[in-house]
Chains A and B, each alone.
Chain A
Amino acid sequence: MEDTMALQNDLTPVVEMKGITKHFPGVTANNQVTLKLYPGEVLALLGENGAGKSSLMNVLVGLYRQDEGEILVRGTPAEIHSPKDAVQLGLGMVHQNFKLVETMTVAENVVLGLKHLDFIPSFSEICRRINTISRQYNLQVDPRAYIWQLGVGEQQRVEILKLIYRGADILILDEPTAVLTPQESGELSRIIAQMIDEGKSAIFITHKMEEIKRFSQRVQVLRKGETAAVLETSKTTPSELARLMVGREVLFRLEKKICCPGEPVLEVKNLCASNEAGRPSLQDLSFIIRAGEILGIAGVAGNGQRKLTEVITGLDRADSGKVVIQGKDMTNRTPLDLIQSGVSHIPPDRISMGIVGDMSVASNLVMKEYRSEPVVKRGIFNYKEVAKSAKEKIDAYNISTPSQNTEAKFLSGGNIQKIILAREIGACRGLLIASYPSRGLDVGAMEAVRLQLIDQRNIGNAVLLVSEDLEELITVADRIAVIYEGRIMGEVPAEKADIKIIGHMMAGASLKGAAQAAAEAELGEDGI
């Protein structure tokens, strides 16, 4: 350790944040935080939800102004008042919640805000440059596509492209892999490696332990706004990191009672649905979930998972087929009908669908209860009951917020997710549909959510868990079905699940074919 540290001490850090303190009304997001990033390294930034990671990075790129402390870029004190100043210093950030303009094209988003350019190049010139970068980094993006047409993975690519286009050589990536498929995050690690080779440096925020190993050389742990430790990645372990950030031991394996399924709660029969373009997105899909069991849906994002959950919850329409909930035909009913028949839904995108950011934390927490007593009596709100219900949930789910009345949009990403979890799990009466529920949660909260899902199953609810995280599916679910191009490729019991076989099925192989392919691959390995 000494020798590398000594080596680094000789180098001037490309970024040095000294004694940064940032207060928000009711909370201190950062307290005297010091951070150094050396040239050519990836520094992982780790910490619980609300520990102040995003705030610290927002200070660095000039979105927030620190209350105390100073920032040095390449050894010289820097005044960073706006993202524009940051761009000029070569700092670029991919935010936790992307900041792309949906109604504009990729190319327009890339040049948006580049006012300091003396001239605006023509649209085709911009596209040409984007294409050059695309080729150089193997980042497939159509510069003429509109943002709303793109999936999250592609939007992520646009964000990265934007950084490269602007010539950033200090990259700040705030939970870039939270919304990516394993394939996409593999691609991201390749791109980052290429950029580091070119001499760029990066700060990488993540909650995933294996990514810290994969991406970073050093890791800095934040805890309640303060630095808990700075370590070399190769000299630490996931459990040490988890202990440092959460302050207690975290279980990476969960205990689960044996599952004893009851009556069918959700029956999906020959469901077909199509996308806006009229192409089929669900094809003849059928499955059953019984009370007291968890069905996991594995698949690469964009294979119909979203359509499936939205058709079941009434947000989208089925062309044919049936959705039967607790014995009642609920095909193509309104979202309210489904809510009232006991369905809870944790949606994949929390900011745009899951919460109303401009309303208070308390209001957001009761958005499932306000149709009935005691929160609302004869149409009139009882604010005492609202506060009581909100307080219970804030305590039960450990939501870190300055107050109940804080607007929900001011909470950290993970705490926003906790609001949704608290509200939906609290209101669940029969069926819980959870899309990527642990996305963006720290290891402690992730463990809590998984325990909650298992709890729901133990008390006799049916759970549909959509996830890309195979570890999560295997630890939480009882059965795993694999979805590919809107079809169920096959189903395996979780305890017998083989990650390799599931991987092949996610790429479109049938259960049999996948088992064969996996076996052959094993033979091949043995051969070597």
Chain B
Amino acid sequence: MRLYFEKRKTSSKIVLICVPIISLVISLILTGFLLLVFGVNPLATFSAMFNGAFGSSQNFAETLVKAVPLMLTGLGVSIAFRLRFWNIGAEGQLVLGGVAATWVALFASPYIPAFLLLPSVLLAGALAGAAWAGVPALLKTRLQVDETLTTLMLNYVAILIAEGLFYGAWRDPGGMGFPGTARFPQAAWLPRIYGRVHYGLVFALILAVVLWFFIYHTKWGFELHMIGKNRTAANYLGVNIKRTILVSILISGAFSGLAGASEVAGLARRLQEGLIQGYGYTAIIVAWMAQLNPFASIAAAILMAALLVGGDQVQMMMRLPSAVGLVMQGMILFPLLAGSLFSEYRLRISRTRGEETP
């Protein structure tokens, strides 16, 4: 008996679906061991996590609240990843989107009619996110600067700008010591659907459908595939690679910027520390887990949000660090990356020759 890998002849659809699920299971098992080390019952912890995330309508609402920015940023980075443009700057694009939205809500509002204020706030967020992504995209297409570094570094810049503003220039003097800006005028609030779940959810769902349509049914999507899969061929076939990358990355950034704007306008209704949650990084896991498929991104975002919310619950109920949820998120990524091995190879078992030939 011998085990060996054989290259698959076709990328199997079933495997594509199984890999994320198996990754989740492996991550559960690994975290289970970790929990045993902490001296708690893993099954009880998992069920507490599950209850925390889905157990009641309030809990589920909280999961959705966290899922919304993950959906938007996850969809955004998946566009970039399709082009093999490693945009890991969704965090910065989200934060800067929040900053721009805040500026419009607080300082431009006197000049904007009330009914246009909310759209302007959201648009400003999207534009700021696009601009923030546009910088690395330009550097990449004009000067071949590696985008992994630039997008990552711009995250820190965006976060520092935001902190500088809500700790400093834009800090609300009436905030009783809490760092943060003043509250937005009511016309700039993004309405809520249920509990704290705001209309950002609807945007995310609509955008997932739109994105799916664009990717699989339009010229732009076709060119996206060509560039992502064989750049030399795309160039030879007349695709304007630089322009397509630039446009796509602007859109990618706009998704994250919109996430930031809908966070500030829909949740805190002010700019404050709560915006900077690392959603933009989790978005990378969401996009990979969904294998860049828009609908799967929605599901993956909910799952990741559930791990976050469930993790918080576990902290309260089982006196465990809430990082348990984060650890699980991380542990999903590894089997996921390893899983790409299984989508290209399959494990085969062979018996020795002697048994086969009598």
Interface of A with B (CB < 8 Å)? Answer: 24-25, 63-65, 70, 77, 79, 81-82, 313, 315, 334-336, 338-340, 345, 347, 352-359, 363, 367-368, 370-371, 376, 379-381, 407, 410
A359 touches B225 (CB 8 A): yes
Taken residue by residue from 324 to 358, chain B's Cβ proximity to chain A (1 for < 8 Å, 0 otherwise) reads as 00000000000000000000000010101100110
B9 touches A358 (CB 8 A): no
Q: Bound state CA distance, A407 and B218, in angstroms?
A: 19
Taken residue by residue from 253 to 295, chain B's Cβ proximity to chain A (1 for < 8 Å, 0 otherwise) reads as 0000000000000000000000000000000000000000000
Q: Beyond A355-B233, A356-B225, is A82–B4 a contact (Cβ under 8 Å)?
A: yes
B6 touches A345 (CB 8 A): no
- A64, A336, A363, A410: the one contacting B238 at CB < 8 Å is A336
B236 touches A335 (CB 8 A): yes
For A380, what are the chain B residues with a Cβ–Cβ distance below 8 Å? 217-219
Taking the nearest CB of chain A, how far is it from the CB of B69, in angstroms?
A: 30
- Mark out the residues of chain B between 186 and 244 whose CB falls within 8 Å of any chain A CB in the assembled complex: 217-220, 222, 225-226, 229-230, 232-240
Which of B6, B236, B353 counts the most A-chain CB atoms under 10 A from its CB?
A: B236
For B217, what are the chain A residues with a Cβ–Cβ distance below 8 Å? 380-381
B10 touches A358 (CB 8 A): no
A353 touches B219 (CB 8 A): no
A63 touches B235 (CB 8 A): no
11 CB < 8 A contacts A-B: A24-B9, A65-B6, A70-B353, A79-B350, A340-B238, A356-B229, A359-B225, A380-B219, A381-B218, A381-B222, A407-B10
A358 touches B219 (CB 8 A): no
For A79, what are the chain B residues with a Cβ–Cβ distance below 8 Å? 2, 350, 352-353
For B232, what are the chain A residues with a Cβ–Cβ distance below 8 Å? 352-353
A368 touches B237 (CB 8 A): yes
For A63, what are the chain B residues with a Cβ–Cβ distance below 8 Å? 7
Q: Bound state CA distance, A358 and B234, in angstroms?
A: 12
Taking the nearest CB of chain B, how far is it from the CB of A462, in angstroms?
A: 20
- B233, B350, B357: the one contacting A81 at CB < 8 Å is B350
For B226, what are the chain A residues with a Cβ–Cβ distance below 8 Å? 356, 359, 367
A25 touches B9 (CB 8 A): yes
B219 touches A357 (CB 8 A): no
For B9, what are the chain A residues with a Cβ–Cβ distance below 8 Å? 24-25, 64, 410
Q: Bound state CA distance, A354 and B232, in angstroms?
A: 9
Closest 6 CB pairs of A and B: A336-B238, A358-B229, A356-B230, A339-B238, A81-B4, A335-B238
Taking the nearest CB of chain A, how far is it from the CB of B270, in angstroms?
A: 40
Q: Beyond A315-B236, A347-B236, is A381–B219 a contact (Cβ under 8 Å)?
A: yes
- A81, A313, A368: the one contacting B6 at CB < 8 Å is A81
A353 touches B233 (CB 8 A): yes
B interface majority secondary structure: mixed
- B5, B220, B222, B235: the one contacting A335 at CB < 8 Å is B235
Taking the nearest CB of chain A, how far is it from the CB of B22, in angstroms?
A: 23
A-B contacts besides A70-B356, A81-B2, A334-B240, 8 pairs, CB < 8 Å: A81-B6, A335-B235, A352-B230, A359-B225, A363-B225, A367-B237, A371-B238, A376-B219
A77 touches B357 (CB 8 A): yes
Taking the nearest CB of chain B, how far is it from the CB of A310, in angstroms?
A: 9
For A345, what are the chain B residues with a Cβ–Cβ distance below 8 Å? 236
- A82, A340, A368, A379: the one contacting B220 at CB < 8 Å is A379
Q: Residue on A with the closest CB to B230?
A: A356
Taking the nearest CB of chain A, how far is it from the CB of B223, in angstroms?
A: 9
For A25, what are the chain B residues with a Cβ–Cβ distance below 8 Å? 9-10
B233 touches A370 (CB 8 A): no
Q: Bound state CA distance, A72 and B11, in angstroms?
A: 31
For A64, what are the chain B residues with a Cβ–Cβ distance below 8 Å? 6-7, 9
B233 touches A334 (CB 8 A): no
Q: Beyond A81-B2, A81-B350, is A354–B233 a contact (Cβ under 8 Å)?
A: yes
Q: Residue on B with the closest CB to A58?
A: B7
Which of B219, B225, B348 counts the most A-chain CB atoms under 10 A from its CB?
A: B219
Taking the nearest CB of chain A, how far is it from the CB of B141, in angstroms?
A: 14
B236 touches A77 (CB 8 A): no
For A77, what are the chain B residues with a Cβ–Cβ distance below 8 Å? 353, 357
Taken residue by residue from 76 to 112, chain B's Cβ proximity to chain A (1 for < 8 Å, 0 otherwise) reads as 0000000000000000000000000000000000000
For B357, what are the chain A residues with a Cβ–Cβ distance below 8 Å? 70, 77
Q: Residue on B with the closest CB to A315?
A: B236
- Mark out the residues of chain B between 29 and 79 whose CB falls within 8 Å of any chain A CB in the assembled complex: none
Q: Bound state CA distance, A334 and B219, in angstroms?
A: 19
Taking the nearest CB of chain B, how far is it from the CB of A52, in angstroms?
A: 14
For B7, what are the chain A residues with a Cβ–Cβ distance below 8 Å? 63-64
For B348, what are the chain A residues with a Cβ–Cβ distance below 8 Å? 65, 81
B10 touches A356 (CB 8 A): no
B229 touches A359 (CB 8 A): yes
For A381, what are the chain B residues with a Cβ–Cβ distance below 8 Å? 217-219, 222
Taking the nearest CB of chain B, how far is it from the CB of A276, in angstroms?
A: 15
Q: Beyond A25-B10, A379-B219, is A358–B230 a contact (Cβ under 8 Å)?
A: yes
For A367, what are the chain B residues with a Cβ–Cβ distance below 8 Å? 226, 237
Q: Bound state CA distance, A353 and B226, in angstroms?
A: 11
Taking the nearest CB of chain B, how far is it from the CB of A409, in angstroms?
A: 10
- Mark out the residues of chain B between 276 and 327 whose CB falls within 8 Å of any chain A CB in the assembled complex: none
A379 touches B235 (CB 8 A): no
Q: Residue on A with the closest CB to B354?
A: A77
For B230, what are the chain A residues with a Cβ–Cβ distance below 8 Å? 352, 355-358
For A410, what are the chain B residues with a Cβ–Cβ distance below 8 Å? 9-10
Taking the nearest CB of chain B, how far is it from the CB of A365, in angstroms?
A: 12
Which of B2, B6, B233 counts the most A-chain CB atoms under 10 A from its CB?
A: B233
Q: Beyond A63-B7, A77-B353, A81-B2, is A371–B240 a contact (Cβ under 8 Å)?
A: no
Q: Beyond A81-B6, A410-B9, is A356–B219 a contact (Cβ under 8 Å)?
A: no
Q: Bound state CA distance, A469 and B358, in angstroms?
A: 52
Q: Bound state CA distance, A367 and B7, in angstroms?
A: 28
Q: Bound state CA distance, A380 and B238, in angstroms?
A: 18
For A358, what are the chain B residues with a Cβ–Cβ distance below 8 Å? 229-230
Q: Beyond A70-B357, A376-B219, is A357–B229 a contact (Cβ under 8 Å)?
A: yes
For A24, what are the chain B residues with a Cβ–Cβ distance below 8 Å? 9-10
Q: Residue on A with the closest CB to B226?
A: A356
Taking the nearest CB of chain A, how far is it from the CB of B13, in angstroms?
A: 12
Q: Bound state CA distance, A347 and B232, in angstroms?
A: 11
For A353, what are the chain B residues with a Cβ–Cβ distance below 8 Å? 232-233, 236
For B5, what are the chain A residues with a Cβ–Cβ distance below 8 Å? 82
Q: Bound state CA distance, A405 and B4, in angstroms?
A: 29
Taking the nearest CB of chain A, how far is it from the CB of B353, in angstroms?
A: 5
Q: Bound state CA distance, A441 and B20, in angstroms?
A: 42
Q: Bound state CA distance, A271 and B103, in angstroms?
A: 56
Taken residue by residue from 1 to 30, chain B's Cβ proximity to chain A (1 for < 8 Å, 0 otherwise) reads as 010111101110000000000000000000
A370 touches B219 (CB 8 A): yes
Q: Bound state CA distance, A334 and B235, in angstroms?
A: 9
